Amino acid sequence: MRATEPRGGLVLLSPLAGWSTPLDEVPDPVFAGRMLGDGLAIDPTGATLHAPCDGEIIALPESKHAVTLRSDGGAEILMHIGVDTVGLRGEGFEAHVTVGRRVAAGERLITFDLDLIARRAKSLLTPILVVDGGGFTVVRSGESREVAVGDVLMEIAPAGEASAGSGAREPESGAAPGGDAQARLVRVALEHGIHARPAALIVSAVKALSGEVELAVRDRTANARSTVALMKLGARKGDEVRIRAAGRDAGRAVAAVADVLAGAHEQAGGSPPAAAPKPTSVRPPQTAAAVEVRPGAALPGVVASRGMAVGQAVRLAVREIEVTPAGAGVSHETLQLQRAREQVRGRLEAARASASGTAREIVEAHLELLDDPELTESALAHIADGAGAGHAWRQAIRADVEALRALGDPRMAERVDDLLDLERQVLLSMNGHAGAAAQDLPPDAIVLAAELLPSQLVGLDAARLAGICLAAGGATSHVSILAAAMGVPALVAVGPSLLRVVEGTALLLDADAGVLHVDPGAERLAAARRQLALRTARRAAEREAAQQDCYTADGARIEVFANVGSLSDAQTAARNGAEGCGLLRTEFLFLERETAPSEAEQQAEYQRLAEALAGKPLTVRTLDIGGDKPIPYLPMPAEENPALGLRGVRTSLWRPDLLRQQLRAILGVRPYGQCRILLPMITDVAEIRSVRAAIEEARAGIGRQEPIEVGVMIETPASALMADSIAAEADFFSIGTNDLTQYTLAMDRGHPELAARLDALHPAVLRLIARTAQAAQARKRMVAVCGGLASDPVAAPILIGLGVHELSAVPAIVPRLKALIRGLTLAECAGMASEALEQTSAEAVRALALRRAGRDGV
**Residue number closest to Mg ion, CB atom:** 739
What are the residues binding Mg ion (CB under 5 A)? 715, 736, 739
Residue 651 Cα distances to 189, 463, 623, 687, angstroms: 52, 45, 8, 11
**Looking at this protein, which amino acid is placed at residue 29?**
P
Q: How far is the CB of 648 from Mg ion (least distance, A)?
A: 7
Cβ pair 471, 494 in contact under 8 A: yes
Residues 596-655 that bind ligand PEP (CB under 6 A): 624
39 binds, among Mg ion, ligand PEP, none (CB under 5 to 8 A by kind): none
Residues 567-586 that bind ligand PEP (CB under 6 A): 583, 585
Nearest to 61 by CA among 98, 33, 22: 98
Give Cβ neighbours of residue 377 (< 8 Å, ≥ 6 apart): none
The verdict on whether 478 is a catalytic residue reads yes
Most distant CA pair in the chain: distance in Å?
A: 106
Cβ pair 797, 527 in contact under 8 A: no
Considering the rule CB under 6 A, would residue 792 count as an interface residue with ligand PEP?
Answer: no
Considering the rule CB under 6 A, would residue 839 count as an interface residue with ligand PEP?
Answer: no
Q: How far is the CB of 726 from ligand PEP (least distance, A)?
A: 16
In the list 359, 786, 802, 814, the residue contacting ligand PEP (rule: CB under 6 A) is 786
Element (H, E) at 530: helix 522-545
Of 53, 469, 581, 786, the catalytic one is: 786
Nearest to 218 by CA among 231, 234, 203, 230: 234
Q: How far is the CB of 583 from ligand PEP (least distance, A)?
A: 6
Q: How far is the CB of 787 from ligand PEP (least distance, A)?
A: 3
3 state DSSP class of 127 = strand
For ligand PEP, the closer of residues 808 and 841 by Cβ is 808
283 binds, among ligand PEP, Mg ion, none (CB under 5 to 8 A by kind): none
In the list 739, 759, 792, 843, the residue contacting ligand PEP (rule: CB under 6 A) is 739
Considering the rule CB under 6 A, would residue 679 count as an interface residue with ligand PEP?
Answer: no
Interface with ligand PEP: number of residues (CB under 6 A): 10
Considering the rule CB under 6 A, would residue 736 count as an interface residue with ligand PEP?
Answer: yes
For Mg ion, the closer of residues 28 and 739 by Cβ is 739
Q: How far is the CB of 476 from ligand PEP (least distance, A)?
A: 15
The verdict on whether 762 is a catalytic residue reads no
729 binds, among ligand PEP, Mg ion, none (CB under 5 to 8 A by kind): none
Of 382, 478, 517, 762, the catalytic one is: 478
Beta bridge partners of 154: 12
3 state DSSP class of 488 = coil
For ligand PEP, the closer of residues 430 and 769 by Cβ is 769
Considering the rule CB under 6 A, would residue 715 count as an interface residue with ligand PEP?
Answer: yes
Phi-psi region of 615 (alpha: psi -120 to 50; beta: other; left: phi over 0): left
For ligand PEP, the closer of residues 259 and 739 by Cβ is 739
Nearest to 589 by CA among 571, 575, 603: 603
In the list 787, 793, 803, 815, the residue contacting ligand PEP (rule: CB under 6 A) is 787
421 binds, among Mg ion, ligand PEP, none (CB under 5 to 8 A by kind): none
DSSP 727-782: HTT-SEEEE-HHHHHHHHHT--TT-TTTGGG--TT-HHHHHHHHHHHHHHHHTT-E
Angle value at C-alpha 234, between 220 and 55, nearest 5 degrees: 90
Considering the rule CB under 6 A, would residue 15 count as an interface residue with ligand PEP?
Answer: no
Give Cβ neighbours of residue 736 (< 8 Å, ≥ 6 apart): 680, 713, 714, 715, 786, 787
Considering the rule CB under 6 A, would residue 737 count as an interface residue with ligand PEP?
Answer: yes
Q: How far is the CB of 580 from ligand PEP (least distance, A)?
A: 15
Considering the rule CB under 6 A, would residue 738 count as an interface residue with ligand PEP?
Answer: yes
Q: How far is the CB of 680 from Mg ion (least distance, A)?
A: 6
What is the DSSP pairing of strand 445-449 with strand 465-470? parallel
182 binds, among ligand PEP, Mg ion, none (CB under 5 to 8 A by kind): none
Considering the rule CB under 6 A, would residue 37 count as an interface residue with ligand PEP?
Answer: no
Q: How far is the CB of 91 from Mg ion (least distance, A)?
A: 26
Query: 3-state SS of 603-628?
Result: HHHHHHHHHHCCCCCEEEECCCCCCC
Beta bridge partners of 808: 561
Query: 3-state SS of 625-664?
Result: CCCCCCCCCCCCCCCCCHHHCCCCHHHHHHCHHHHHHHHH
797 binds, among Mg ion, ligand PEP, none (CB under 5 to 8 A by kind): none
737 binds, among Mg ion, ligand PEP, none (CB under 5 to 8 A by kind): ligand PEP
Determine what percent of the chain falls in helix, strand and coil, rounding each to the nearest 5: 40, 20, 40
Query: What is the set of active-site residues?
Result: 478, 786
Which residues are at the interface with ligand PEP (CB under 6 A)? 583, 585, 624, 715, 736-739, 786-787
